[in-house]
Structure 1
Amino acid sequence: MEFLTGFGLACLSLIFVLIARDFGRLTVAKVFLALLFAAGGFLLHPLVPSQYHWFTIDLQVMVPGLFWLLCQFAFTDRPKLKSVWAVMALYTALAPITARAFWDRDVVEGGIQFFGWTFGEWLEYPVILNGLWVIVSNWSNDLVESRRRLRVAMLVIVGFAVGSAVVSLNFRLAGEYTRAIIVSVSTFTVALLMLKGRTGALYGEAPEPKPPAELILQAEEELEPAFEGEKETVSDAVPDENTLQKEDEKKLHTVMAKGFYRTENLTLRMLAKEIGLPEYKTRTLINQTMGYRNFNDYINQLRISEAAQRLIEDPEVPILNISLDVGYRSISSFNRAFKDIMSLSPTSYRQETIQKN
């Protein structure tokens, strides 16, 4: 058992050092480090003197919430920190820590026992499942190919490890061997993945996204020669990689200038088919040439840019009509996307802009 515990601790330490050294400045890395520290508490609990068990127990109850937080920062560009799920994740950690400070769990009963410990244990399962859902639901929209493969593999492994740890704790199955096996296997696998991927793919930073107005203007300018009937020069020379990328970029801008981004339920696969490129090339094209890391963000920027313009130019047109015209299925999804990008609701934006002018 000592060998397994030592092995698991060594893997935890290796990952901790890699993340702290290379990505310690990033919020997602800090959350990951906190999760690793809490996992260390889970692993070492049986070896810690009983008078310090309160500390390792407090670390253990933080694991589900930290995992949920990691999924938010690693897989969404706008973490939902003001949501019911965030409250649930916070409750799973704060409730037992607060209750332990005032009462002994083995002595109290009734409401204190339920709200201090039992209810929080029940909430841990949906919190973990929601974290896994964030991984799955955002995977296809991630435009960084290497990061997609590595992050999904890593976080699914971590997710199932966290789930196994929670089940073993809540059902009093967390013996010394159980703890050592869960931590050793999961951390060893994650360490291999990180070393193989050189860790950069997990938190790779993309260039600053181009403003939506610039994207549309560039697309329209590149589309004009086609409307004017200009002839392209045919060359027998084999185009280099940079030339091919420019051509692919022109295809993308041309399609978007024609308003393809207004297509309802638009997916990366649909866009790739429209411009005649494989999905992975389309993904790389949007990421490397325009700086977007999420496909939905790219499409929303284009839609909201047009919507903002129409709100001012067509003040008599209902907001619902504009939202449907630019590709949204409902006014609620349009309002949410508009406020995320413009920091104002469509109604407030229209009123304030018109008043200024």
Structure 2
Amino acid sequence: MLELFFSASGAGTCIVLMMLILKDFFHSVAARAFFVLIFGAFVHLCHNWLPEELSAYAYIIASATPAFFWISCRLIFQEERRLPRISLAIAIYSFVAPFFKHIISSYLGYIPPWVELFGRTIPQWFEYALIIMGILALLKGREDDLVESRRRLRWAIMGAAGLSLGWSIFSFNLHFGSAASRVFAIDLSILIIIGFLFKGRSDIWGVAPSSVKPALLSMTSDLPNTAIEIEDDSVPAYLNKVTESKELAQVKAVMLQGFYRQEKLTLKDLAIKLVLPEYKIRGVINKELGYRNFNEFINEYRIAEAAQRLISEPDTPISNIALDVGYRTLSSFNRAFRKEKDTTPTAYRELND
């Protein structure tokens, strides 16, 4: 009876969260991946109510939960549309293999040892790996994250993942703990996540405004709390108006002095330089400029200077320019340059020669 109560309440909570995503945020790829994750949890909670012939398929759908947990973490917290091929193959195998196991065992009438190995044992280990990979994606880049609600969500999901996915999957696969305890763990974790998502849903899944480029920042006034019109036909109209706070003026001033050239520059370093709390600087860069990651903010300054010097200093080695603007290695500079300019530094120099 207790398990039924927890299952029903958890399923209802999943429906509320899925409706929220469908209504307001289904345009976001990360939100769609998270929708599948919640749907997997919903199916897991409801599988005991399903007819016996459907329960196996419910198990297969629920087995996709760790894969979409990892995918959701990559998309939400690292904002990477391209997923590593090997990791993606592991994710797909983890829930496709149980499906083929069910088909083969139904056809043969029994489960051969090799089917048990490739259709159950290996996918289970892959599920554990995907949970760990998802948690690592949560941890990676947390110091550079400028979206305050997303920073809080990292820790909420960390706790919820450890509580629900960890307890439910490990206890189910290793045959310890009651079914009611697993359902309760899922219920509690979903409620934790919903609380944080409702509070910061627009920042987490909403469309982030385009960043104001360093070239535009250099054109703005030093007067705080002033709306400045910047006539520049190369950018959208809404970027031609910048409301500048006192803190933004301070950030802009120190950046234009070349502070971004410091190697291994962190948000904490900038906070110490400006004698401001880190949360205020995060808010300024995120809310007023539209950046969601500190490295992205710094890289735009570095790449802007590097691009200018590649043209104005044709005889200066690219490696020297990379080191001068703050990169520790040429490879990291090349990656950042390609991401910003969609070409290599060498090709950019030749194109503008």
**TM-score, normalised by the number of residues in structure 2:** 0.84
Match of 1:46 in 2: 48
Partner residue of 1:165?
Answer: 168
Distance 1:255 1:329 in 2: 21
Distance 1:240 1:338 in 2: 33
Q: Which amino acid aligns with 2:310?
A: L
Distance, in Å, in 2 between the alignment partners of 1:15 and 1:52 is 24
Which amino acid is the alignment partner of residue 132 of structure 1? I
Match of 1:236 in 2: none
Helix, strand or coil at the partner of 1:77: coil
Match of residue 6, structure 2, among 4, 7, 19: 4
- Cα distance change on mapping 1:100 and 1:313 into 2, 3 Å: farther
What fraction of aligned residue pairs are identical, expressed as a percent? 33
Q: What is the correspondence of 1:83-122 to structure 2 with a 5 Å cutoff?
A: 83-103=85-105, 107-110=111-114, 112-122=115-125
**1:92 and 1:319, CA in 2 relative to 1: closer, same or farther beyond 3 A?**
farther
| Counterparts in 2 of 1:154 and 1:37: CA distance versus 1, 3 Å | same
Cα deviation for residue 191 of structure 1 reads 3.2
The more displaced of 180-189 and 75-84 is 75-84
Structure 1 CA distance for aligned equivalents of residues 166 and 86 of structure 2: 20
Native 8 Å contact 2:309 2:321 kept in 1? yes
Superposition TM-score, scaled by structure 1 size: 0.84
1:129 and 2:132 correspond: yes
Q: Give the CA RMSD over aligned residues.
A: 2.8
Change over 3 Å in CA distance of 1:255–1:136 after alignment to 2: same
Q: Give the Cα–Cα distance (whole angstroms) in 1 for the partners of residues 165 and 189 of structure 2.
A: 9
Question: Residues 240 and 326 of structure 1: is their aligned pair in 2 closer, same or farther, counting only changes over 3 Å?
Answer: closer
Matched, 1:290 2:289: yes
Q: Which amino acid aligns with 2:112?
A: V
Q: Partner residue of 2:33?
A: 31
Determine if the alignment matches structure 1 residue 180 to structure 2 residue 179: no
Aligned-partner Cα distance in 2 for 1:283–1:9: 37
Q: Could you list the per-position Cα deviations for residues 127-157 of structure 1 after superposition, in whole angstroms to 9, with x for gaps in the alignment?
A: 21121122122222221223322x2243223
Query: Which SS does the other structure have where 2:328 is aligned?
Result: coil
Q: Distance in 1 between matches of 2:118 and 2:320?
A: 47
Cα distance in 1 for partners of 2:69, 2:166 equals 10
Asked whether the 8 Å contact 1:32–1:70 carries over to 2, the reply is yes
- 1:106 and 1:296 mapped to 2: Cα distance? 55
Counting only pairs closer than 5 Å after superposition, residues 255-334 of structure 1 correspond to structure 2 as: 255-334=254-333
Q: Which residue of 2 aligns with 1:247?
A: 246
Query: What letter is aligned with 2:248?
Result: E
Aligned position for 1:141: 144
Offset of 1:326 from its aligned partner? 1.3
- Other-structure match for 1:189: 192
CA shift for structure 1 position 241: 9.9
AA in 2 matched with 1:304? I
CA 1:2/1:329 → structure 2, altered by over 3 Å: closer, same or farther?
same
Which residue identity is paired with 2:219? Q
Report the Cα distance in structure 2 between the residues aligned to 1:55 and 1:259, rounded to whole angstroms. 59
The reply on whether 1:154 has 2:156 as its aligned counterpart is yes
Please give the alpha-carbon distance, in whole angstroms, between the structure 1 residues aligned to 2:157 and 2:124. Answer: 22
Equivalent residue runs for 1:182-261 within 5 Å: 182-195=185-198, 197=199, 199-215=201-217, 217-218=218-219, 246-261=245-260
Q: 1:245 deviation in Å?
A: 5.3
Is contact 1:147–1:201 with CA below 8 Å preserved after alignment? yes
- Looking at structure 2, the residues matched to 192 and 250 of structure 1 have their Cα atoms a distance apart, in angstroms, of 35
In structure 2, C-alpha distance between the alignment counterparts of 1:198 and 1:283, rounded to whole Å:
15
1:109 maps to amino acid: P
In structure 2, relative to structure 1, the CA distance for the partners of 1:240 and 1:338 (3 Å cut) is closer
Cα deviations by residue, 1:243-264 (Å, 9 ceiling, x for unpaired): x953322221221111111111
Query: Alpha-carbon deviation of 1:199?
Result: 3.5
* Superposition deviation, residue 106 in structure 1: 5.5
Q: Is the 8 A contact 2:150 2:200 kept in 1?
A: no
Structure 1 residues 349, 165: CA separation in 2 closer, same or farther (over 3 Å shift)? farther
SS in 2 for 1:140: helix
CA distance in 2, matches of 1:179, 1:47: 16
In structure 2, relative to structure 1, the CA distance for the partners of 1:276 and 1:173 (3 Å cut) is: same
Q: Residues of 2 paired with 1:119 and 1:41: CA distance? A: 22
Q: Counterparts of 2:103 and 2:342 in 1: how far apart (Å)?
A: 41
Q: Which whole-Å deviations, capped at 9, do the CAs of 1:288-325 have from their partners, x for residues lacking one?
A: 22111111110111111222222222233222222211
CA distance in 1, matches of 2:173, 2:181: 13
CA deviation after TM superposition for structure 1 residue 198, in Å:
6.3
